Chains A and B, each alone.
Chain A
């Protein structure tokens, strides 16, 4: 068919995608990142094309406006803020969702013409520490390795990375390599026993924030084993305070020996390392070890930062972080600033770095920002201490938000709303974590009045009088300009140079194949990098805020396999919600409130109320909460309200992986849920979460403090419809109230209330919404919440093929491969294979563990060869 080659908009792996306008999506076999694979999120991309709640027209002050009026309002807002506060009083907060061209335009407007360094990207929350670590070690933000190194390595160390969930395709490549070469070893350094551990040879459950201590110990060990280096700074690095890892000495020693004895070692690190008040030190502690062992830029060896967003790297390239200029040019070198000023014809170019995200919103809260433009991101959910950030957003005289969706918490607060193009519509480039520039191509018509971000930026610039500097006809113009900027540093030693692409014709740009930088000359292609490096001393520091008797538990936040960021794209897709359909706090079972009950997570900064989930793999003394939930879906579950705003002193990256909290059970008068054919909102009860359950079916998880009978009546009234009839179960003395609303055998709504969280599974009830004719027999047991016969409802494990846990355990297969053959589970995107392996491991051992002691985990690895 007429499939268009484009790139997935989710994580930093940057997979190639073949997509058709009708929404058929498959992996691009020709793309180097994924070679045809896709994960569960990528597979479901077609289901996100018709995003509900799409912003289709500009709005000013809550009313629809013309583009002219809206752009005038933006220009006026910024002009007024400039007049009132100067360049320090205006800001842009942008996103790794932007294409490089959009990013470039925004950065040029801010730093070149508005004259402010105050443009920061949400990449600040993602990999700013890695960037800072790279710059300290290499003098430039460089990722030395390529993905293939993961396959060539004999030892892969995953630090603070739940690769199986967050970068599933890369994880599959790794697993396939291990299956082909079983001698290859994988070590996971993570306080949590994540799905990634299912494929690992060794899990080091490090104390939260203990990574620096681990790599300081490794550095000493390598030195003791005779590794030497001429790079500067080694002595100070060796002398740095070692710190405590909290690890079992035998496990630690095993790791040290494996690392020391394996020349081909890749250390991959991600948010678990970066999101820390010592994030930059973690990056450098890792790089130090690779430097001492001489393992940088070699096949199968190197430190490897993997990013969260599809174009975090592109943002770094154009300088869309407050402390970077453009094209890796450096404020500390006046000749580079001058070169850029001249190139841009921008006399007012910002004199120095601006405010990083956490500082930016703090300053805004103080009333010192007059205008803020948020592009394609949702700081009202994603920032730490987020209630303070919301207060800051409310206080802004001029908050502009451009995005694809009207339905984000930040959009709600914006005075001017601008409809941007989304994935499948916009056109430009992205750069993935291995420095490969890929084209994202449009294959869908532009909806409503939505426009490309770069166009919106250029129109505002024109209104502010800088039209000539933003007079691009399309993304190809911008890309050429961006590529040319990367050559301005010459003759300075600068690795990031794609000036070889500055002469691309429009047609060449349109047809651009995935290209790894540097590309200093036309036709060149980048490879592994082995830049000159220095050691950085990384004395161990504990997390900024330590636990105390009042706040004795360490809260870690992170991601779910099938959700993306603040759910604006993935949240409305039932198939993706099915994997983890409620906001939870995962706790070690010992001493935790009962599974399924509600608990309050409370810190000095705020709180969230979440469903308790037990997991023996969660270290005692820690709790894990997904960061995705928003006011759109679950207002009480916005965990960032509780997360501390401490940042890394170098990178400014917030410490999202360590907040001291306390957990207290939350008593409710009733728990319940409503299934309905429309979303009823998130204010139905004291605790309320809204979840898409199936096509056209919304699930509302509720808990209340009012009288159950009254709440029941209210909820029924909310879903009542003419000519429909109820099936009702009422046991007021026990606090049990259940109702189903039907018309002509078609289920319209279900309302269940009970005195506690012990309510029937929702899956079966949800499945009934698909049928047209619920027969008499089914009506009879509707409110029992389960069929009278047949298997009990069971959670979906394989999203691609809709296979439940019960089906997997009941199929007779004792290995991931056998389960796949019997049920197709795990044979789609493969993201669920670790969970299938864990499920098989958790089943009665006699059922499947071979007598020689080799578990299903090894078999699991062996099944990944396609």
Chain B
């Protein structure tokens, strides 16, 4: 059986490896768009900050891929699918035949449609090439404006600051990382990053990138201009679904898949950020890898189904552990907040009907598993409420 995996990110590479293991006599081809060996995209921030070298990020050497039985094809851009023929067509017109196709296309960083967004000096933050572009810009120190205060934006800001740039983050919401953090944790994080020299324009929206030859600044909606030698856009990602859409597969935000990660075409699977499962696209590596495993088992003919777990985001931003899970924006939920001003620790637990529905941990995420379990199992917690915020050492006993 010929299996073609398109996309050599973490999900694609994992799926290729598992298929190679599980399907007897399989011929597995892994086609990556970037001209590199598979690498750990999550660790790009370390490369940017100078905490790791590029080769440290490589997850699979060529020999290792070969040993797994995977034919690796880097630098291949797939332009179209010929589903009737069972072939993927590259930009150069080559045709790669498949019996099963796995789309692990990931997502693309969004470039805001601002005036001047295309000027030299404006970069996105998605892949190795983007990081190299930032590192080149950072060589002259100077000023950087990062548009977007999500996880990626902050990582870019921290990395650039570590490289000696004076960084301002422009963010549309009152606090950074609002999808993972509540206002208090976001505020703590902003304060902490502030001690590293990172400034925030928040809430603020960018109206234009100033400059004629290259970017010189970012103009905000209040008319002020933040001077910039480098502008990084980190305002979100969009699932890479165009290829599937053009091939006639059902696509919403991402490529629609069933529980086995199969698209409407039984020969075609989609995993990772490009896939949309029951209305949701994943954005974190852990569920993407799970999807890759499920797709591999399905291709091998085993029963397999992916069930999303409560969203849990365990992150480390600038040395600060943050974690959140469940619904942290539920305005009808009751909140238990525990915070330690001096030690910069904070946790918020959100309860509805006597059950934990969401949690944000900042600075100390040791009890994350305990809260994730409570959120997932929906166990009543009313009886242990006064001790809930102190974690399992206290709350289990009371339960």
Contacts and interface: CB of A to CB of B under 8 A. Distances in A.
Contacts of A734: 334, 336, 385-386
> What does DSSP make chain B's interface, helix, strand, loop or mixed?
mixed
B389 interface: yes
A725 B342 contact: yes
Interface stretch (A14-22, A130-138, A781-789): A781-789
Nearest to A760: B386
Contact of B386 (A725, A736, A742): A736
A786 B341 CA distance: 20
Contacts of A729: 336-338, 389
B341 A725 contact: yes
Contacts of B334: 731-734
B390 interface: yes
A728 B338 contact: yes
**Residue in B342, B343, B345 with the greatest tally of chain A CB atoms within 10 Å:** B342
Interface in A719-747: 725-734, 736, 742
B364 interface: yes
B141 interface: no
Given A728-B339, A731-B336, A754 B394 contact: no
B126 to A, nearest CB: 38
Contact of A731 (B342, B385, B394): B385
Contacts of A726: 339-341
A728 B337 contact: yes
B385 A779 contact: no
B330 to A, nearest CB: 13
Interface in A728-773: 728-734, 736, 742, 754, 758
A111 to B, nearest CB: 63
Contacts of B385: 731, 734, 736
B43 interface: no
> What does DSSP make chain A's interface, helix, strand, loop or mixed?
mixed
A2 interface: no
A730 B335 CA distance: 8
A776 interface: yes
Nearest to B347: A729
A792 to B, nearest CB: 10
A89 B14 CA distance: 103
Counting chain A residues whose Cβ lies within 8 A of the other chain, the interface size class is 20 to 34
A780 B364 contact: yes
Contact of B393 (A725, A727, A732, A788): A788
A786 B394 contact: yes
Given A731-B334, A731-B385, A754-B386, A781 B340 contact: no
B335 A779 contact: no
B389 A788 contact: no
Nearest to B349: A731
Nearest to B336: A731
A728 B341 CA distance: 8
Contacts of A728: 337-341
Given A734-B385, A754-B386, A783 B338 contact: yes
A720 B205 CA distance: 38
**Residue in A725, A758, A780, A783 with the greatest tally of chain B CB atoms within 10 Å:** A780
A786 B394 CA distance: 9
Given A780-B364, A784-B387, A727 B339 contact: yes
A211 B33 CA distance: 102
Contacts of B343: 776, 779
A789 B397 CA distance: 11
Nearest to A731: B336
A726 B338 CA distance: 10
A727 B344 CA distance: 10
Contact of A730 (B336, B341, B345): B336
Interface in B337-379: 337-343, 345, 351, 364
B219 to A, nearest CB: 39
**Residue in B335, B336, B345, B385 with the greatest tally of chain A CB atoms within 10 Å:** B336
A493 B95 CA distance: 136
Nearest to B387: A784
Nearest to B398: A784
A728 to B, nearest CB: 5
Interface in A777-823: 779-781, 783-784, 786, 788-789
A758 B337 CA distance: 20
Contact of B390 (A725, A732, A784): A784
A727 B343 CA distance: 9
A726 B389 CA distance: 16
Contacts of B387: 784
Nearest to B388: A731
Contacts of B345: 780
Contacts of B335: 730-733
A781 B394 contact: yes
A728 B340 CA distance: 6
B81 to A, nearest CB: 53
Contact of B340 (A731, A758, A779, A788): A779
Contact of A781 (B336, B339, B342, B390): B390
A788 B394 contact: yes
B340 A727 contact: yes
Interface string B305-339: 00000000000000000000000000000111111
B59 to A, nearest CB: 35
A118 B76 CA distance: 113
14 contacts: A728-B339, A731-B334, A731-B389, A733-B334, A733-B335, A736-B385, A776-B343, A779-B343, A780-B340, A781-B390, A783-B338, A783-B390, A784-B387, A784-B390
Given A727-B338, A731-B336, 18 more contacts: A725-B342, A727-B341, A727-B342, A728-B338, A728-B340, A728-B341, A729-B336, A729-B337, A730-B336, A731-B385, A734-B334, A734-B385, A734-B386, A736-B385, A754-B386, A781-B390, A781-B393, A781-B394
For the complex of A and B, 8 pairs with smallest distance between CB atoms: A733-B334, A725-B342, A725-B341, A788-B393, A731-B336, A784-B390, A727-B340, A729-B338
